[in-house]
């Protein structure tokens, strides 16, 4: 309708003079000090997102993908969490060096986050209109009345039917899909530069998943936002992401543009993930599964963390941690944006 | 919301009749209603029979109960040992006790909830441990010990307050007795708030509130506190009823002529009409306090309102 017509032109890049990536994570480490010892949740993660770009972060539970996101948002529980080293550059400025007040002003306004379970992530005792309007009231100092009008606009925008009538409803009165739309609306409220979506569709059923992802992709394009999509669902990633970072035990093990990763994985773990997707042309065969369990973060295996579960592992993998190195074609030609942290990436990608 | 209120009001009716019936039975069947009427001696049979006839005690039980209920609804609670109507005693006693309860509840809310919030947010820190230890002490010492001790120290030794409250019992004289009366509940409220806050602090919606970039103050007051106060409100509401009737010890210590004092007199002088009258009113207060709690509950938690 009219709302979309108004903003049909692609907005100019916002934020002025900074030219590099929108967000850059450099050598980020996060550890949790628990009674049983130090759990190293994130061990030197590097990635970057540009405006309008979608980065998918893929990994099992406990691979550190959510923790990285929480570190970016600055909502890690500290203590027990701790960031011993690393930089998180937003428009070239290190957020880890900012004061708490400066970071708070970035949260919600410049970087917003969508959480997995919308029912528990929305406050059960406040109306959705209040929770949406709060963004405008706190960050823009709007009056209660104006904020409510804005909230209705937002709910229209994320295609919630009868927004005006439902603005005073409470979260438990909405269906799962509608609740997730409200979460998205809340993240979009102040038109942030970057949205982090932490498994936004995991709690939804498949038909609703597609709707929610479409909505997210549409709005991202409209506002030219950067998007970090955290997921363990390879199906979701293929349609929306531009590039993928695969995480395992707190490290990025492979980085690639989305379609190349599906065509030719350069890490045995990625290959294992892809092989464990059910396929129609392999009907009747047993589905592949990666053997074993994700590593205990208190006691990460020496060498490559994936070695106990890896079909290709040998002695080198048990002693030496593989670095994340650029991947090339067989003839040495560059494969832009591709990196792998496997001693045997050549064998993995080229056969 | 309207239907919820009506339903709750209707539920009060059977509870009221049940409770009054119990009081009635306890006094008339298990006790002897005319025991205290002849002073310290046993009544002689002729007088007893005459008294029974006068009070209608020779009629069948159900008729007696109807008479009692009829009197309750017309506001006739009989006469006290000194010949005063019980309603007159109530008129002088309840305002005093209500003032005392207001002071006590005020302290519970102000001190209890503040301490609970602080300790809940700083769980495991020295502040938390200290307050927790203090509440444990308060909880384990009976009220009459704290009351007498404070009366002795503040009232007699140091002379900061008057050890006995005057019959008018203005608010200014009720501060210390109110604090004594509130002490145990105050410790409960602190612990309840602390647990609730510490638990909800990790809730997803609090994380969302932080991620929205709200100032810490707002996160705590609007998002964390509102959810955490639901169990505390329940406790405080129920406590209003308990404080109104259970102030016997405190009122005795500080010589406050409130409900507890009159009840005590009624019991000591075996005057059934005083006791029954006051207890009936206390039942009503309890019921109203519970209604208030349920309504507040619905205001605080919309999930209950629409259930």
What is the domain partition of chain A in residue ranges? Answer: 2-241, 247-350
Residue B209 touches partner A, C-beta closer than 8 Å: yes
Helix (H) or strand (E) holding B244: helix B225-245
Domain identity same for B55 and B130:
no
Range B207-232 average pLDDT: 89
| Tokens at B306, concatenated | 């629409």
Q: Do A134 and B226 touch (CB under 8 A)?
A: no
Q: How far apart are CA B105 and CA B185, in angstroms?
A: 9
pLDDT reported for residue B197: 92
Nearest to A124 among B202, B215, B303 (CB): B303
Asked if B303 and B110 count as a contact pair (C-beta separation under 8 A), the reply is: no
Question: For residue B210, which of A113, A243, A157 has the smallest C-alpha distance?
Answer: A113
Q: Which residues pair with A248 in a beta bridge?
A: A251
Range B114-142 average pLDDT: 89
Name every chain A residue with its beta carbon within 8 A of the beta carbon of B301.
124-125
Pick the residue from chain B with its C-alpha nearest to A195: B211
pLDDT higher than threshold 90 for residue B48: no
Domain identity same for B201 and B132:
yes
Query: Which ipTM did the prediction report?
Result: 0.82
| Tokens at B33, concatenated | 């209603």
Q: Do B213 and A122 touch (CB under 8 A)?
A: no
pLDDT reported for residue B116: 92
pLDDT reported for residue A81: 83
Question: Which of B204, B213, B220, B231 should we substitute to test contact with A (largest number of A Cβ atoms within 10 Å)?
Answer: B213
Asked if A154 and A185 count as a contact pair (C-beta separation under 8 A), the reply is: yes
Residue B213 touches partner A, C-beta closer than 8 Å: yes
Name every chain B residue with its beta carbon within 8 A of the beta carbon of A134.
212, 214, 222
Exposure on the CB side of residue A242, measured as CA atoms within 13 A: 17
Q: How far apart are CA A331 and CA B251, in angstroms?
A: 96
Task: For chain A, list residues with pLDDT below 50.
Answer: 1-13, 15
Helix (H) or strand (E) holding B120: helix B114-121
Q: Where is pLDDT greater, at B22 or B40? A: B22
Is B172 within a domain? yes
pLDDT reported for residue A3: 47
Owner of token pair 């306090």? B289
Domain identity same for B93 and B67:
no
Domain identity same for B102 and B194:
yes
**Full domain range(s) for residue B140:** 87-305
How many domains, chain B?
2
pLDDT reported for residue B21: 85
Q: Which burial class, exposed, middle or buried, applies to A20 when counting CB atoms under 10 A from its CB (0-12, 13-18, 19+)?
A: exposed
Is B79 within a domain? no
Buried b / exposed e along B271-301 (16+ C-beta atoms within 10 A): bbbbbbbbbbbbbbbbbebbbbbbbbbbebb
Domain identity same for B124 and B167:
yes
Question: What is the C-alpha end-to-end distance of chain A, expressed in Å?
Answer: 51
Report the mean per-residue pLDDT for chain B: 83
Closest approach of B302 to chain A, Cα-based (Å)? 6
SS3 content of chain B, % helix, strand, coil (to 5): 80, 0, 20
Q: Do A121 and B207 touch (CB under 8 A)?
A: yes
Domain identity same for B40 and B115:
no
pLDDT reported for residue A16: 52
Q: Confidence band (pLDDT; 50, 70, 90) for B33?
A: low
* Count of CB atoms situated within 10 Å of the CB of B95: 13
Is B250 within a domain? yes
Domain identity same for B178 and B286:
yes
* Count of CB atoms situated within 10 Å of the CB of A303: 18
Name every chain B residue with its beta carbon within 8 A of the beta carbon of A127.
302
Domain identity same for B117 and B40:
no
Asked if B211 and A106 count as a contact pair (C-beta separation under 8 A), the reply is: no
Name every chain B residue with its beta carbon within 8 A of the beta carbon of A108.
211-214
Range B218-235 average pLDDT: 88
Name every chain B residue with its beta carbon within 8 A of the beta carbon of A34.
none
Q: How far apart are CA B120 and CA B191, in angstroms?
A: 9
Q: Which residues pair with A196 in a beta bridge?
A: A113, A228
Name every chain B residue with its beta carbon within 8 A of the beta carbon of A102.
none
Range B243-255 average pLDDT: 81
Cite the DSSP H helix spans in A189-257. Answer: 206-223, 234-240
Greatest mean pLDDT among B76-90, B177-191, B284-298 lies in B177-191
Q: Do B211 and A75 touch (CB under 8 A)?
A: yes
Beta strand pairing call for A111-114 and A194-198: parallel
Q: Do B218 and A138 touch (CB under 8 A)?
A: yes
Q: Which residues pair with A112 in a beta bridge?
A: A195
pLDDT reported for residue B115: 92
| Tokens at B68, concatenated | 């009692």
Closest approach of B210 to chain A, Cα-based (Å)? 7
pLDDT in tens, B145-191: 888 888 888 877 887 777 777 777 777 778 888 888 888 889 999 99
In chain B, DSSP assigns E strands to none
Nearest to B208 among A122, A139, A173 (CB): A122
pLDDT in tens, A21-62: 888 888 888 888 888 888 888 888 888 888 888 898 988 888
Q: Which burial class, exposed, middle or buried, applies to A266 when counting CB atoms under 10 A from its CB (0-12, 13-18, 19+)?
A: buried
The class that CATH gives domain A2-241 is alpha beta
Pick the residue from chain B with its C-alpha nearest to A106: B213
Q: How far apart are CA B266 and CA B80, in angstroms?
A: 8
Domain identity same for B167 and B241:
yes
Owner of token pair 């993908």? A65
Residue B302 touches partner A, C-beta closer than 8 Å: yes
Q: How far apart are CA A327 and CA A336, in angstroms?
A: 8
Asked if A52 and A221 count as a contact pair (C-beta separation under 8 A), the reply is: yes
pLDDT higher than threshold 80 for residue B2: no
Nearest to A121 among B208, B214, B227 (CB): B208
Question: Which of A105, A125, A170, A186 should we substitute to test contact with B (largest number of B Cβ atoms within 10 Å)?
Answer: A125
Domain identity same for B69 and B91:
no
* pLDDT over 70, % of chain B: 92
């Amino acid at each position: 309708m009219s709302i979309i017509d108004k903003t049909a032109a692609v907005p100019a890049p916002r934020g002025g003079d900074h030219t590099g990536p929108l967000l850059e994570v450099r050598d980020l480490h996060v550890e949790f000090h628990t009674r049983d010892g130090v759990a190293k949740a994130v061990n030197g993660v590097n990635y970057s997102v540009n405006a309008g770009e979608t980065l998918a972060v893929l990994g099992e539970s406990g691979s550190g993908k959510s923790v990285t996101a929480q570190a970016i948002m600055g909502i890690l529980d500290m203590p027990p969490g701790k960031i011993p080293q690393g930089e998180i550059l937003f428009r070239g400025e290190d957020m880890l060096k900012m004061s708490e007040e400066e970071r708070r002003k970035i949260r919600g306004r410049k970087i917003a986050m969508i959480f997995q379970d919308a029912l528990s992530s929305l406050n059960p005792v406040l109306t959705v209109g209040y929770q949406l309007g709060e963004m405008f009231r706190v960050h823009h100092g709007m009056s209660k009345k104006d904020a409510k009008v804005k909230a209705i606009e937002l709910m229209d925008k994320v295609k919630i039917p009868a927004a005006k009538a439902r603005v005073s409803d409470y979260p438990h009165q909405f269906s799962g899909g509608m609740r997730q739309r409200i979460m998205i609306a809340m993240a979009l409220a102040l038109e942030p530069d970057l949205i982090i979506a932490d498994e936004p569709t995991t709690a939804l059923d498949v038909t609703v998943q597609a709707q929610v992802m479409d909505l997210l992709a549409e709005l991202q394009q409209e506002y030219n936002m950067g998007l970090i999509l955290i997921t363990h669902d390879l199906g979701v990633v293929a349609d929306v992401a531009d590039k993928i970072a695969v995480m395992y035990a707190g490290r990025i093990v492979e980085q690639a543009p989305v379609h190349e990763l599906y065509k030719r994985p350069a890490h045995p773990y990625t290959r294992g993930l892809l092989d464990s997707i059910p396929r129609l042309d392999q009907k009747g065969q047993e589905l592949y599964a990666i053997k074993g369990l994700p590593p205990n973060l208190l006691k990460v295996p020496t060498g490559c963390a994936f070695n106990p579960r890896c079909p290709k592992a040998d002695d080198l993998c048990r002693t030496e941690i593989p670095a994340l190195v650029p991947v090339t074609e067989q003839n040495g030609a560059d494969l832009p944006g591709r990196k792998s942290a496997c001693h045997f990436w050549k064998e993995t990608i080229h056969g | 919301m309207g239907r919820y209120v009506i339903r709750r009001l209707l539920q009060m009716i059977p509870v009221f009749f049940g409770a009054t019936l119990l009081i009635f039975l306890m006094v008339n069947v298990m006790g002897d209603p005319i025991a205290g009427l002849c002073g310290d001696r046993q009544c002689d049979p002729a007088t007893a029979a005459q008294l029974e006839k006068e009070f209608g005690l020779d009629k069948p039980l159900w008729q007696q109960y109807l008479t009692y209920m009829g009197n309750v609804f017309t506001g006739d609670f009989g006469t006290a040992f000194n010949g005063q109507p019980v309603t007159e005693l109530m008129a002088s006693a309840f305002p005093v006790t209500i003032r005392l309860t207001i002071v006590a509840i005020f302290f519970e809310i102000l001190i209890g909830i503040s301490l609970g919030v602080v300790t809940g947010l700083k769980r495991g820190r020295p502040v938390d441990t200290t307050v927790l230890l203090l509440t444990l002490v308060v909880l384990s010492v009976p009220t009459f010990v704290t009351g007498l001790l404070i009366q002795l120290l503040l009232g007699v030794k140091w002379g900061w307050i008057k050890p006995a409250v005057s019959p008018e019992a203005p608010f200014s004289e009720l501060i210390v007795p109110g604090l004594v009366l509130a002490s145990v509940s105050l410790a409960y409220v602190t612990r309840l708030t602390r647990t609730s806050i510490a638990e909800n602090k990790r809730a997803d919606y609090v994380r969302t509130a932080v991620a929205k970039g709200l100032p810490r103050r707002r996160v705590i007051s609007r998002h964390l506190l509102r959810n955490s106060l639901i169990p505390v409100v329940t406790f405080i509401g129920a406590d209003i009823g308990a404080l109104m009737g259970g102030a016997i010890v405190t009122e005795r210590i500080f010589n406050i002529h409130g409900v507890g004092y009159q009840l005590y007199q009624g019991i000591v002088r075996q005057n059934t009409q005083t006791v029954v009258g006051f207890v009936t009113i206390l039942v009503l207060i309890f019921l109203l306090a519970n209604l208030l709690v349920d309504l507040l509950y619905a205001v605080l938690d919309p999930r209950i309102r629409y259930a």
